[in-house]
């Protein structure tokens, strides 16, 4: 893979989806220990279900923006050479037309059975009483990766990151690992590392090049 692009909540901010750690971000309104940990879900599954139902409804009403579309154009121009590793659980890259997308923190639009591991398309409003279509039990949860859980597809991600020529990170604060460590890994392996973000992040020093500004401006300018 020639180009690996890590995306975070900032790329979807201008589509109307909230980020986590900005001044009006989700973690200013919700305690992440309640909303995004397995322990929080065990304590109060209804609160977590409501949190993700609201986010799923927002996502369904949102559209990909110029940054998502620019990345889809890049892949169309360089078939087989671009991979997006997204921390986002929205589906805006896929709806913009990107094909090679690895959702390392899962997907809002997917439900997971904690009993048998089956996955299926989540209804916009999930309910704790929803039955798993495979095993028939009511043990459903959002198919997302919470703190303390292992992100999905890590082997494929590390292979791509340590084998690319260009690594770009877009709209991520670099505060959540292992995603935040990928730029340093790519750099150690010899990639040219580019940061595209609204402002400096925790990991800005890991990059050779930095472009600051809203994603809908800096991403199309970088791609085209």
Interface with ligand BJW (CB under 6 A):
8-10, 13-14, 19-22, 25, 36, 87, 89, 105, 144-151, 154, 171-173, 175-178, 197-199, 201, 214-215
Q: Does 17 carry a binding-site annotation?
A: yes
Q: Does 113 carry a binding-site annotation?
A: yes
Q: Evaluate whether 198 touches 213 at the Cβ level (below 8 Å).
A: yes
Nearer to ligand BJW, 87 or 140 (CB): 87
Taking the C-alpha atoms of residue 125 and residue 118, their distance in angstroms, rounded to an integer, is: 18
Of the listed 68, 69, 93, 105, which one is catalytic?
Answer: 105
Q: How far is the CB of 100 from ligand BJW (least distance, A)?
A: 19
Q: Does 14 carry a binding-site annotation?
A: yes
Q: Does 84 carry a binding-site annotation?
A: no
Q: How far is the CB of 36 from ligand BJW (least distance, A)?
A: 5
Q: How far is CA 19 from CA 14, 43, 145, 158, in A?
A: 10, 25, 16, 25
10 Å CB burial of residue 52 (0-12, 13-18, 19+) is buried
Q: How far is the CB of 80 from ligand BJW (least distance, A)?
A: 26
Nearer to ligand BJW, 82 or 144 (CB): 144
Q: Evaluate whether 164 touches 194 at the Cβ level (below 8 Å).
A: no
Q: How far is the CB of 79 from ligand BJW (least distance, A)?
A: 27
Q: Does 21 carry a binding-site annotation?
A: yes
Name the β-bridge partners of 75: none
Nearer to ligand BJW, 81 or 152 (CB): 152
Nearer to ligand BJW, 191 or 203 (CB): 203
Concerning whether 69 is annotated as a catalytic residue, the answer is no
Binding site members for NAD(+)? 8-27, 87-90, 171-173, 197-199, 215
Query: Could you list the active site residues?
Result: 105
Binding site members? 8-27, 52, 55, 87-90, 113, 116, 132, 135, 171-173, 197-199, 215
């Amino acid at each position: 893979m020639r180009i690996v692009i890590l995306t975070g909540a900032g790329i979807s901010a201008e589509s109307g989806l909230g980020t986590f750690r900005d001044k009006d971000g989700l973690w200013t309104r919700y305690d992440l220990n309640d909303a995004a940990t397995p322990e929080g879900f065990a304590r109060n599954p209804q609160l977590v279900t409501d949190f993700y139902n609201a986010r799923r409804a927002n996502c369904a009403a949102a559209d990909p923006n110029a940054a998502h579309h620019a990345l889809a154009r890049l892949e169309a121009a360089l078939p087989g050479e671009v991979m997006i590793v997204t921390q986002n659980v929205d589906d805006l890259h896929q709806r913009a037309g990107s094909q090679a997308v690895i959702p390392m923190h899962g997907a809002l639009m997917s439900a997971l059975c904690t009993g048998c591991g089956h996955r299926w398309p989540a209804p916009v409003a999930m309910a704790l009483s929803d039955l798993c279509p495979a095993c028939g039990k009511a043990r459903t949860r959002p198919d997302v990766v919470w703190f303390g859980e292992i992100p999905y597809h890590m082997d494929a991600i590390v292979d791509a990151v340590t084998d690319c020529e260009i690594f770009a990170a877009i709209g991520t604060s670099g505060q959540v690992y292992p995603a935040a460590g990928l730029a340093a890994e790519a750099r150690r392996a010899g990639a040219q590392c580019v940061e595209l973000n609204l402002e400096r992040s925790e990991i800005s020093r890991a990059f050779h090049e930095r472009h600051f500004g809203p994603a809908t401006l800096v991403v199309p300018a970088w791609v085209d």
